[in-house]
Amino acid sequence: MRRSTVLLLAALVLAALAVPLVARLPYHRDLVIKVLLFGMLAQAWNILAGYCGQISLGSGAFMAIGAYSAYKLGTGVRVLGGFTTFSSFSMETFNLIAQAAYGRALLNVTLSIALCIGATWLGVLAGRQL
């Protein structure tokens, strides 16, 4: 291997080892995990569709099963998704207040509510177009 490739791999390994030290809040760790999962999905799609010329329906089927299960649980229980999202939002805001980061806590509350209302409005508009 070339020296630049080895250095790049070493930097990536060090960055991966530093994630638990840097991302102390559960939200940030979850965000890193989601980014890595989407990166893995993109690589799998690139290999299958780009290099091999095959269409993979397996990953889409598993995602559809997961989405359908979440939908059925959410509509059956009616608070499943909203409760977990709200509890995460409340815990992050509480942690910011406990750290005396009042400005960031206020920004978290304001942006979360504004973005949620905006996303709901866009979803309603999109749903009306169907």
Give 43-92 pLDDT, tens digit per residue: 877 777 777 766 666 666 777 777 776 666 666 655 455 545 666 777 78
Q: Is residue 117 part of a domain?
A: yes
What's the pLDDT tens digit per position in 6-39? 898 898 888 888 877 887 788 888 888 788 788 8
DSSP notation for 60-117: HHHHHHHHHHHHHHHHHHSSHHHHHHHHHHHHHHHHHHHTT-HHHHHHHHHHHHHHHH
What's the pLDDT tens digit per position in 73-82? 666 655 455 5
Question: Residue 13 has what pLDDT?
Answer: 84
Q: What share of the chain is helix, strand, coil (3-state, %, to 5)?
A: 85, 0, 15
Identify the domain containing residue 128 by its residue range. 77-130
Report yes or no on whether pTM surpasses 0.75.
no
Q: Is residue 111 part of a domain?
A: yes
Q: Is residue 126 part of a domain?
A: yes
Q: Is residue 113 part of a domain?
A: yes
What's the pLDDT tens digit per position in 102-130? 998 898 888 888 887 888 888 888 878 77
Q: What total number of domains does the chain contain?
A: 1
Q: Is residue 87 part of a domain?
A: yes
Q: Is residue 46 part of a domain?
A: no
List Cβ neighbours of 32 (8 Å cut-off, separation of 6 or more). Answer: 19, 23
Q: Is residue 109 part of a domain?
A: yes
Q: Is residue 55 part of a domain?
A: no
Question: Residue 71 has what pLDDT?
Answer: 67
Question: Residue 18 has what pLDDT?
Answer: 83
